């Protein structure tokens, strides 16, 4: 019996008691995790989900958190003097598949809170509030003086631009 499950954005073919390295999970070591995005199951007959099988669950135990092998990324353009070397180590989580089941575990229902009947709110007649007119601030002396100066100045008018004199054609000899 095996299943294809989506774990941390990647699809894995898993079977019971198999150990799998997946992208880092937030769960602590020793904790149980369950994955409900089962895409395909084979238990004698093949069941394909559209896109996932409803009620199918894969449970696993987190064994350890570790880093993967180092990958070297080397870039070079010949005759240009361009060389870049980078390294990368992926954070991984090792999990062991405990079970593959078609029925989801029963979830405990939270106790329902009693709903209190909503009392009709009394509408109180509110008087419309008149908005106050904005108060104008008194102009400062500096502003008053500058307005007086600009008012007393006459706007200078530029004389109209003269048209260039027409060229006189000289008679050809």
Question: For residue 64, what are the domain limits?
Answer: 2-101
Q: What is the pLDDT of residue 91?
A: 97
- Establish if 38 belongs to a structural domain: yes
- Establish if 135 belongs to a structural domain: no
How many domains is the chain built from? 1
Q: What is the pLDDT of residue 13?
A: 97
- Establish if 167 belongs to a structural domain: no
Q: What is the pLDDT of residue 137?
A: 60
Both tokens of 107, joined, read 């979830």
Residues ≥6 apart with Cβ < 8 Å to 36: 52, 56, 57, 58, 104
- Establish if 136 belongs to a structural domain: no
Does this model's pTM top 0.75? My answer is: no
Q: What is the pLDDT of residue 106?
A: 55
Give the residues of the chain that fall short of pLDDT 50: none
From CA 135, how far away is CA 103, in angstroms rounded? 73
- Establish if 25 belongs to a structural domain: yes
């Amino acid at each position: 019996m095996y299943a294809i499950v989506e774990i941390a954005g990647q699809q894995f073919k898993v079977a019971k008691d198999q150990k799998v390295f997946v992208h880092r999970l937030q769960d602590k070591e020793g904790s149980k995790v369950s994955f409900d995005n089962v895409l395909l199951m084979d238990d004698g007959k093949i069941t394909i989900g559209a896109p996932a099988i409803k009620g199918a669950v894969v449970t696993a135990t987190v064994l350890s958190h570790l880093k993967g092998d180092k990958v070297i990324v080397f870039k070079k353009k010949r005759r240009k003097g361009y060389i870049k070397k980078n390294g990368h180590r992926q954070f991984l989580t090792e999990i062991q598949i405990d079970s593959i089941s078609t029925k989801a575990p029963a979830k405990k229902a939270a106790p329902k809170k009693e709903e209190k009947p909503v009392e009709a709110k009394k509408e109180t007649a509110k008087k419309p509030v008149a908005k106050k007119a904005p108060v104008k601030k008194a102009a400062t002396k500096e502003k008053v003086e500058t307005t007086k100066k600009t008012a007393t100045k006459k706007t200078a008018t530029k004389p109209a631009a003269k048209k260039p004199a027409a060229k006189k054609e000289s008679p050809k000899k």
